[in-house]
């Protein structure tokens, strides 16, 4: 199977040996960050640094003229990726014989939430989630769609992978996170991720719910969990038990329609800006009500819109199965496997994990993340991709 490795521009810029080192792994493609959230990243082999701190979400190229005069617009990166860091890295990687696709993070932006608080998801208690732009708000949707088109269609990119193209919620790798003291389970996470901004309140009302009554019902449903109780059911059945079947269905209908239409708009904008043959993939979870970087989708719908999906498969590739029934001959079903041992990956079992993913329907591999992995991790990758392990 074709294998691609994720990279940041700062893994390449300033390290003239990086492109050849990545190519020597046996990958054919690099998925290179063009728009990314704040992070603190290790760079184990870079000749000039070992830690890069990206202080805020940013585009890793100069933002275009389309943003002039607009209140919501992308932020340029600071000294962690100055100028056209994406373009410089992409050119170096292509010179080494690698295909380059852009990697675009959309609805995950803490600085946007800090500077424009009204754009954020608001939970049933009135708490804002600054890292999570509400994708129901018209101005936010317009910003995300235009960002998708600009950040995806970079020079030297043959395609793109859109991450966080859907709802973000409570779960977040926040600095010094202290939110796991009460085990909420999947149902509690869903309830704590429901948004009650003005746009979502109107959406609930249009679906026949009183938003004030709904917020009160969510708080009541969560109260036993705060006291240490656990949902007796799992999956959507647990949400229905806590919130009631009708209320749960109405919230899900609003959120899933909102996510679907955003995904359609973002992918459509990318296609309109891209040359023929430009590949558009979505980082996706087959459970449509899930939140996060791997956006919850309806498998049949998304494979009728995008060229394929990138699916988290570390620890098991079962999430591929719902997509297989809807795949066409050219559909990409990419299994995303973590190859950083220190981040929960298992590079030593990559060959076996890839084979299992292929049995379940994967057509390609994504390896997270070649810039963060140790030399020993990358040695396992190289052996696995060459068939020696």
Residue 141 placed within a domain? yes
Q: What pLDDT, in 10s, does the model give residues 285-322?
A: 999 999 999 999 999 999 999 999 999 999 999 999 99
Structure-derived torsion over alpha carbons of residues 268, 322, 352, 354, reported in degrees to the nearest 10:
-10
Residue 79, pLDDT score: 97
Residue 221 lies in a domain: no
Is residue 27 within 8 A of residue 10, CB to CB? The reply is: no
Q: Given this model, what pLDDT does residue 231 score? A: 66
d(Cα 104, Cα 120) in Å, to the nearest integer?
Answer: 19
What pLDDT is attached to residue 175?
67
As for how many domains the chain has, the answer is: 1
In this structure, the strands spanning 29-36 and 99-105 are parallel
pLDDT at 230: 74
pLDDT given for residue 30 in this prediction: 98
Whether 228 shows a pLDDT value over 90: the answer reads no
DSSP secondary structure, 39-66, as one string: EEEE-TT-SS-SEEEE-S-EESS---GG
Per the domain annotation, does 163 fall within a domain? yes
Angle at Cα 256 formed by Cα 321 and Cα 239, nearest 5°?
80
Q: Residue 389 — pLDDT band, cuts 50, 70, 90? A: confident
Calpha distance 162→385 (Å, rounded): 25
Residue 129: give its domain's CATH number.
3.20.20.80
Residue with the bigger pLDDT between 161 and 231: it is 161
**pLDDT digits 0-9 by tens, 168-217:** 999 887 666 777 777 888 999 999 999 999 999 999 999 999 999 999 99
> What pLDDT score was predicted for residue 90?
98
pLDDT of residue 176: 65
Q: 229 in a domain, yes or no?
A: no
pLDDT of residue 207: 96
38 inside domain? yes
Q: What is the pLDDT, as a whole number, of residue 154? A: 98
pLDDT at residue number 182: 78
Task: Report if residue 238 sits inside a domain.
Answer: no
Average pLDDT, whole number, for the chain? 96
Q: Which domain, by its residues, includes 371?
A: 2-178+256-385
Residue 15: the pLDDT is: 98
Mean pLDDT for the stretch of residues 105-123: 97
Q: Worst-scoring range by mean pLDDT, 3-12, 222-231, 237-246, 256-265?
A: 222-231
Structural domain includes residue 233: no
Instruction: Answer yes or no: is 226 within a domain.
Output: no
CA distance 288 to 265: 17
Share of the chain above pLDDT 70, in %: 98
Residues 106 and 148 sit within 8 Å (Cβ to Cβ): yes
């Amino acid at each position: 199977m074709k294998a691609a490795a994720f990279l940041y521009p700062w893994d390449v810029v300033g390290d003239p040996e990086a492109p050849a080192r990545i190519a020597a792994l046996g990958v054919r493609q690099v998925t290179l960050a063009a728009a990314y959230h704040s992070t603190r990243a290790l760079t184990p082999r870079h000749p000039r640094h070992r830690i890069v701190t990206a202080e805020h979400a940013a585009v890793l190229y100069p933002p275009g003229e389309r943003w002039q005069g607009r209140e919501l617009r992308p932020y340029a990166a600071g000294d962690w990726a100055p100028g056209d860091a994406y373009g410089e890295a992409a050119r170096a990687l292509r010179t080494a014989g690698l295909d380059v696709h852009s990697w675009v993070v959309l609805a995950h932006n803490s600085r946007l939430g800090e500077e424009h608080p009204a754009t954020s998801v608001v939970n049933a208690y009135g708490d804002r989630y600054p890292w999570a732009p509400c994708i129901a708000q018209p101005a936010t949707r317009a910003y995300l769609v235009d960002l998708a088109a600009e950040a995806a269609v970079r020079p030297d990119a043959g395609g793109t992978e859109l991450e966080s193209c859907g709802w973000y919620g409570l779960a977040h790798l926040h600095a010094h996170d202290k939110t796991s003291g009460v085990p909420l389970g999947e149902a509690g996470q869903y309830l704590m991720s429901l948004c009650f901004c003005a746009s979502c309140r109107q959406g609930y009302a249009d679906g026949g719910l009183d938003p004030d009554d709904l917020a009160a019902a969510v708080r009541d449903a969560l109260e036993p969990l705060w006291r240490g109780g656990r949902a007796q059911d799992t999956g959507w059945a647990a949400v229905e038990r806590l919130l009631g079947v009708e209320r749960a269905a109405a919230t899900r209908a609003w959120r899933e329609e909102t996510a679907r239409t955003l995904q359609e708009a973002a992918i459509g904008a990318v296609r309109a800006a891209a040359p023929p043959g430009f590949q558009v993939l979505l980082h996706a979870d087959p459970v449509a009500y899930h939140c996060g970087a791997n956006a919850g989708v309806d498998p049949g719908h998304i494979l009728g819109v995008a060229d394929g999906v990138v699916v988290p498969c570390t620890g098991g590739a079962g999430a591929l199965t719902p997509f297989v029934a809807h795949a066409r001959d050219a559909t990409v079903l990419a299994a995303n496997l973590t190859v950083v041992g220190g981040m929960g990956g298992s590079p030593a079992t990559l060959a076996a994990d890839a084979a299992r993913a292929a049995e379940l329907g994967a057509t390609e591999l994504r390896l997270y993340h070649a810039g963060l992995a140790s030399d020993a991790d990358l040695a396992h990758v190289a052996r696995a991709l060459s068939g020696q392990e």
